[in-house]
Structure 1
Amino acid sequence: LVQPYAEMLAQGPRSEVLNEWLAWHRLLFPRNQLYEVLPDTWFAEGKVKLSGFDVVILPVACHLERAFTQQLVEFLRAGGVVIASGAPGLYDQLGRPDGSLLAAAGLSARRESKPGEAWRFSYGAPVNERGWVEAKVGKGSLLLLPSSLAGLKTRDALAERVRAHAVPAAEAPGTTLELLLRALPDGRYLLCALNTSPDAPTTGDVVVRGSFTRVADIDMPRAFPVTAKRAEERTRFRITLDPGGTAYYLLAR
């Protein structure tokens, strides 16, 4: 998720970027789709490379570093996925007209909302049945939201689209579990699980990317083995947590 530095300066006291950023957080984080927030200036200056990512999200980024916009075009042509809330890269970091990202997709942008209204754009192409405009750029795909993610009725479909290109390291669909997987220096992995509901217990299957031969609950004085199933480079095991409960698991290959 890109922090468009110049756009945030241009907006002044308005908070369109922050509001959209929070909308994306509310969509991704409960699904254990962890993400990084990085400023576009870091990419433009070479501190970070797009090749390390599968999906790039632009939250109301009408201003973008010109060098970063060109990197996005190359990222798309190589097969990457870019999802933009609003028209991305209409201007560069100095406010000069750009639009090369949209042009690479054969699109253009027009702001349909009036001053004081919630932002709304059209892109010279029809909105599909899922509520966004999608265009190919080389081997990749550019997805454009005409209005805020918060009002999109097909948010689940968009979340699945992200997941298709960036599978979470650990997930537990249908539960209120928040999961965090970390590699340990000795080659094992530590999984931290939290039931985010303060009112109700939750039960479900945790699916971890990777094939692990041993899983142990280490909340006990001695590690307690957990039955797990392995298939297609995924490890699955079932857990139950009380309201607000936490648990820690060690996974070994």
Structure 2
Amino acid sequence: MANKIKLHIPTKEFKLFLKSISKITESIIIKLKDKKMEVLTTSEGGNIIMLSSFILPDEGDNNVDLELPINDISKLLKICDFAIEETIILEINDNLIKYKNDYIRLKFYLAEKSIIPLPPQVTPDKFRAFPISFSIKLNRDKLIQLEKGFSFVRDNSGNTKVYFYVEDGVLYGELTDYQSDTTDSFRVSLGTDYTGQLIGRIPIKFDVWTLLDYFNDEVIFDVSVVKRKSLTYNILFIRQLSENLEHNYLIQSLKN
């Protein structure tokens, strides 16, 4: 790594980028290339694979090609909290990240790549190549309303799931457990303007679903049907896009 690389990063967007990833994992490798940051990671247990990218402005050394192994993503988030400027300048010097403004100065060491959990065995190109059989754009507020319904159906078993299904032309999200006869339910109408076909119910463990983070009003909800040998899986792709940020979540559904 060349000495004294200076990255010029918009503070607000950098915080959004890191905050969403921090809900999935605390240890990452940030890959920088062609003025873009990219992180491919997975949640503990492998329930969610996340691919995030952040397009950087054409400033400083943002066109550099390097990898930043970060063992504690919260330290980068704290830099965003300390920052008083709209653009953070991070100095990368060998195995150090340094930041300073008129009031503070700090540094922390990059981790050894060997101690960062390996990313999932899927390339970004393969991640984006799954065929889509159902697609709809959802409103973030409705998804947040769905999560709030957990206070109504909460039980002590930890078996609450969120089920997605189409009924009478409407996509619904429902919190319940269809494998239990005594679990309450909470259902939200999510939308009707979809393309493709959704067959049956798609169940996701609720505690997995809450790992998702919404930074944009519009959330793209895609479903891919994947066949492996004699088994068929529903794969959910949840995407959020802005001018410079993109978050992609891949979640394999449970069996009905």
**What's the TM-score bracket when you normalise by the shorter of the two chains?**
under 0.3
TM-score, normalised to structure 2, is 0.26
Kindly indicate which of the two structures has a greater share of residues assigned to helix.
1
For CA contacts below 8 A with separation 6 or more, give which structure has more relative contact order.
2
Kindly indicate which of the two structures has a greater share of residues assigned to strand.
2
